[in-house]
Amino acid sequence: MKVHIQMDVSALSHAPRDWHAVNWRQVERNVKGMQIRIAKATREGKWRKVKALQRLLTRTLSAKLLAVRRVTENQGKRTAGVDGELWESPETKWSAVNRMKPRGYSPSALRRVYIPKANGKKRPLGIPTMLDRAMQAMFLLALEPVSESTSDLNSYGFRNNRSTADAMSQLFVSLSSKASAQWILEADIAGCFDNINHDWLIENVPMERSILRKWLKSGLIDRGQFQETETGTPQGGIISPTLANVTLNGLESGLTDYLGKKLGVTKAHRLKVNVVRYADDFVITGISKEILENEVTPWIVDFLAVRGLTLSDEKTHIVCIDQGFDFLGWNFRKYQGKLLIKPSKKNAQAFYRKVKEIISKHKTIKQEELIYLLNPILRGWAQYHSPVVAKATYSRMEHLIFKALWRWSKRRHPNKSTEWVKEKYFHSVDDRNWVFAVPVVNEVGETTLTELYQLSGTVIKRHKKIKGAYNPFDPKWEMYGEQLRQERMLENMRHRKQFIRMYIDQKGLCAACNCKMTKATGWHDHHIEYRVHGGSDALGNRVLLHPNCHTQVHSKGLKVVKPAS
């Protein structure tokens, strides 16, 4: 089937004149069509065509517009680089689009910041300027189709529609049966992002080398001092995770080819060597400890050495499945031959410390405000572990959090009785007692309880793993991708019933631009008749919009109608 690309909006007579005049549906079509062509050329091994199409895409207005929209709507939009510049107004966004020219482009140094890690250490991040972020986002549009088309089947980090839960599900497939491999190499690369060899990246990453070289050699400013960057791709850049994935692509397929050539395909298959990778963390299964020590590990060491990387001696181990191992916040272990996946002790302890710290730091705020602070953290942690055996961990965490909240409540009223404190801060909800909740009067004058999220009430549901061969830039996977995205997005919505109904009524499309809504794009709940003008909260007065479309509707006074279901 031939794929035709729409003419870029920059070549049209009705090209946009400002940020709010952009036809985002057409922009997305332009970019997606070119990405499909790049992916097709990659699968066919036509690398000269890949290079030409990538160059063409990164010179289009559509790619520039999408790149600017991404960096001005993501979580880092309020974090400036060394120049202190932010793009908050439509005028600055439109001006930025006109500044994005590869010819003569020279990136600024990164701003070094440090964020705390779970083990008490600090993780260094390199924050690019807004312009450099947008340029990275634009070139990423051209790199991703190649990266996705050449990635290992069981690589799950920083890829479209893939998650830690997919990696966990693949390990369950590899380890759960009686005949499965019994030994696991749990590996960790020492400072992966900071140590990747620049020469290897420039030689092997399929993108414009001159641009990549400038990013890698831009340097960074740490505590006012300029430092040159000789190795690595600093964490914090939009394109850095994909560069790391490109670096480690071939870990799975290369190891399989090596064992097949050395031992024969049939014998290699019997060794049950399976690789599951998430970013720079990976585990490899094997039928024996000797195979992992004598065959697999030496090959991995050589594979990484070419890229300037080494295994961490501290975090790399070979263990038996009966002993168990931790991976991505879960513990994998067989109990009398049955594989159970549970939240790891380390992950649970880090979660409790975070919750306890919030409670300790907010001794004087209102109970309702404390609940609003804690609920997103409780809900997020519980939903992360919802595909595994987590009920016992939920109950244990609930008990510990209850004790911390009880101390918080008693401290506020040292002269009051235990019964008085209980009646003020804890209530009965259905068949549950001692629920940390506060009565709140809603808009219609009714009193309702705002309660702390119940960890043990989280439904345990097995995760549906993505197919390893799925490629978001291959048209034959389009229907599968649509179904997968819709299932996952609807499962994660808080107000599930209302949002599901609106999402289905709108066929998964934004009511303003008619483009797809995904977890990546985000969505806003928009009232057709504004509430300040008397509009109700009824579903007939609400639609789902992209965040950017929502801004346009309000800024330009546009009228949105309820789509016909």
Task: Give CA–CA dist 548/70, Å, rounded.
Answer: 10
Give the lowest-confidence range in 212-226, 262-276, 327-341, 524-538.
524-538
Q: Would 118 be classed as within a structural domain?
A: yes
Q: Is the pTM of this model over 0.95?
A: no
Same domain? 421 vs 487: no
Which residues are paired to 189 by β-bridges? 311
Long-range Cβ contacts of 524-532 (<8 Å, 24+ apart): 524/550, 525/499, 526/550, 526/553, 526/560, 528/559, 528/560, 528/561, 528/562
Closest C-alpha among 114, 189, 203 to residue 157: 189
Q: What is the per-residue pLDDT across 277-322, written as a single tens digit (0 to 9) for each?
A: 999 999 999 999 999 999 999 999 999 999 999 999 888 999 999 9
Using CA atoms in the order 362, 363, 367, 370, what is the torsion angle rounded to 10 degrees?
20
Q: Would 140 be classed as within a structural domain?
A: yes
Task: Give CA–CA dist 156/166, Å, rounded.
Answer: 7
Residue 437 identity (one-letter amino acid): A
Chain centroid to Cα 298, Å, comes to 32
SS3 content of the chain, % helix, strand, coil (to 5): 50, 15, 35
Same domain? 372 vs 436: yes
Task: Give CA–CA dist 496/506, Å, rounded.
Answer: 15
Nearest 5°: the CA angle 39, 45, 48 is 85
pLDDT at 554: 82
pLDDT at 488: 74
DSSP sequence for 156-184: -TTSTT--HHHHHHHHHHHHSSTTS--EE
Q: Would 469 be classed as within a structural domain?
A: no
Q: Would 505 be classed as within a structural domain?
A: yes
Q: Would 6 be classed as within a structural domain?
A: no
More confident of the two residues 416 and 486: 416
pLDDT at 534: 55
Task: Give CA–CA dist 198/214, Å, rounded.
Answer: 11
Which residues are paired to 98 by β-bridges? none
Does residue 165 have a pLDDT over 80?
Answer: yes
Domain boundary among 341, 367, 397: 341
Query: Looking at residues 478-498, what average pLDDT do you find?
Result: 70
Q: Would 169 be classed as within a structural domain?
A: no
Same domain? 223 vs 317: no
pLDDT at 7: 42
Does residue 520 have a pLDDT over 80?
Answer: no
More confident of the two residues 250 and 16: 250
Q: Would 216 be classed as within a structural domain?
A: yes
Does residue 412 have a pLDDT over 70?
Answer: yes
Same domain? 139 vs 284: no
For tokens 């009965």, the residue is 428
Does residue 11 have a pLDDT over 60?
Answer: no
Same domain? 368 vs 320: no
End-to-end CA distance of the chain: 31
Length of the chain: 565
Same domain? 545 vs 437: no
pLDDT band at 490 (very low <50, low <70, confident <90, very high): low
Same domain? 323 vs 352: no
pLDDT at 138: 97
Query: Looking at residues 427-441, what average pLDDT do you find?
Result: 91
Same domain? 296 vs 327: yes
Q: Read off the CATH number of the domain in which 500 is found.
A: 3.40.1800
Query: Looking at residues 160-168, what average pLDDT do you find?
Result: 94
Instruction: State the CB neighbour count (10 A cutoff) for residue 320.
Output: 13
pLDDT at 3: 39
Same domain? 29 vs 153: yes
Domain boundary among 396, 423, 457: 457
Please list, in sequence order, all residues whose beta carbon lies within 8 angstroms of the beta carbon of residue 66, skipping any fewer than 6 positions away: 27, 28, 31, 137, 138, 141
Does residue 9 have a pLDDT over 50?
Answer: no
Query: Looking at residues 134-155, what average pLDDT do you find?
Result: 97
Domain count, the chain: 4
Provide the 8-state DSSP code for 489. Answer: H
Asked if residues 107 and 215 have their Cβ atoms less than 8 Å apart, the reply is yes
- What angle do the packed helices 367-384 and 391-412 form, to 10 degrees? 170
Q: How far is CA 257 from CA 182, 265, 291, 402, in A?
A: 22, 9, 15, 53
Query: Looking at residues 188-192, what average pLDDT do you find?
Result: 89
Task: Give CA–CA dist 81/70, Å, rounded.
Answer: 16
Q: Determine which helix (DSSP H) or strand (DSSP E) holds 62, and give its type and residue range.
A: helix 61-71
Query: Looking at residues 516-533, what average pLDDT do you find?
Result: 78
Find the DSSP H helices in 72-163: 90-99, 130-150
Provide the 8-state DSSP code for 317. Answer: E
pLDDT band at 480 (very low <50, low <70, confident <90, very high): confident
Same domain? 155 vs 45: yes
Query: Looking at residues 338-345, what average pLDDT do you find?
Result: 98
pLDDT at 495: 56
Does residue 263 have a pLDDT over 80?
Answer: yes
Nearest 5°: the CA angle 311, 143, 517 is 105
| Mean pLDDT, the chain, whole residue set | 90
Burial of 253 (0-12, 13-18, 19+ CB in 10 A): middle
Q: How far is CA 170 from CA 167, 512, 563, in A?
A: 5, 38, 39
> Which structural domain range is residue 93 located in?
24-163+192-228+239-247
Domain boundary among 341, 363, 378: 341
DSSP sequence for 84-128: -----SHHHHHHHHHH--STT--PPPEEEEEEE-TTS-EEEEEE-
Q: Would 16 be classed as within a structural domain?
A: no
Does residue 134 have a pLDDT over 90?
Answer: yes
pLDDT at 482: 66
Same domain? 303 vs 356: no
pLDDT at 236: 82
Same domain? 402 vs 360: yes
pLDDT at 535: 66
pLDDT at 119: 66
Chain centroid to Cα 16, Å, comes to 31
Q: What percent of the chain has pLDDT over 70?
A: 93
Q: Can you read off the two tokens belonging to residue 473?
A: 């830039």
Asked if residues 36 and 146 have their Cβ atoms less than 8 Å apart, the reply is no
